[in-house]
Amino acid sequence: MSGTFAVLVARDLRLAARRRVDVFLPIAFFTVAVSLFPLGVGPEPQVLRQIAPGVVWVAALLAAMLSVTQLYAGDHADGSLEQMMLVPGARIPIALAKAVSHWLLTGLPLVVAAPVFGLLFDMMPGSIAALVASLVLGTPVLSLLGGLGAALTIGLRSGAVLLILIIVPLCIPVLIFGAGAVTAVDAGLSARGHYSLLAALFIFMAILCPIATAAALRIATE
C-alpha cells in the first residue's frame, strides 16, 4: 500500500508539472480574492485585522473547491482510474494519494503565502503565526473532504455544483475553528482549544475520508 501511495503521489505531481496553468489557477484565485478586500474595505488597520482571518479562510476554501473538481475527472475520462482500481487493495491508497497531492499543489502554497497576506492586512506577528498554524491543520481537511466530494460526483453532469453543495457545509467547522484561533490570539487568549479541535477534525477525516472515498470510487467505476 505504501508503494502504491508513493507512486500515485509522484504521478500526480508529474502530471501537474505538465499542466501548470491548472496548478496556478487556484493560487491566482486565492491571491486575487484576498487582495481585493483591502481595496474594497479601506485602509483602516483595525478593520483589516478583524476581517483578515475570515477572508483568508473563505478564500482558501473557495480555492480548494476550485481545484478539487478535476481531481478524478481526467483519470476517469481516459480510463486510468479503472485500471488503477484493478490493483488489489489500491482503493484507499488511491484516495489518500489524491488528497495528499491536492494538498501539496493547493494547500501548501496557501500556507506559504499566508504570512504575506497577513502583512497585507496589517496583522501582528502572533496572529500571523496563528493563521499559518490553523491553515496547516485545516487545509488537509479541505483536501480530504474535497476528494470525497470529487469521488461522489465522478461523471455527473453539473458535478462541480453538486460537489460544492455537498462539501462546503461540511467545511464550515474548519472555517470557524481556523478563524477562531486567530481571533483568540488577537484578543490575548489561548488558541490551544481551536488547534485541538482542528487536529481532531484532521485525524477524524484522515481516517474516515479515504475509506468513504474508496467506496465512492468503487461505485463510480462499476
Q: Specify the residue for cell string 470510487.
A: 217
CB atoms within 10 A of CB 14: 9
CA distance 2 to 187: 44
Q: What's the Cα-to-Cα distance from 114 to each of 123, 128, 133, 157, 165, rounded to whole Å? A: 11, 8, 10, 35, 26
pLDDT at 2: 66
Torsion-angle region of residue 2: left (phi > 0), alpha (psi -120 to 50) or beta?
alpha
Q: What is the largest CA-CA distance in the chain?
A: 58
Helix (H, G, I), strand (E, B) or coil at 188: coil
Query: How many angstroms separate the CA atoms of 216 and 117, rounded?
Result: 37
**Contact between 65 and 144 (Cβ < 8 Å):** no
Q: Which amino acid is at 103?
A: W
CB 153 within 8 A of CB 163: yes
Full DSSP string of 55-105: HHHHHHHHHHHHHHTTTTHHHHHHTHHHHHHTSTT-HHHHHHHHHHHHIII
Question: Tens digit of pLDDT per residue, the chain (222 long)?
Answer: 667 778 888 888 888 888 777 778 888 888 888 888 878 777 787 888 888 888 899 988 888 888 887 788 777 777 788 888 877 777 888 889 899 999 998 889 889 988 888 888 888 889 999 999 999 999 999 999 999 988 888 877 777 788 888 888 899 999 999 999 999 998 888 889 999 999 999 999 999 999 999 888 888 777
Contact 68, 149 (CB under 8 A): yes
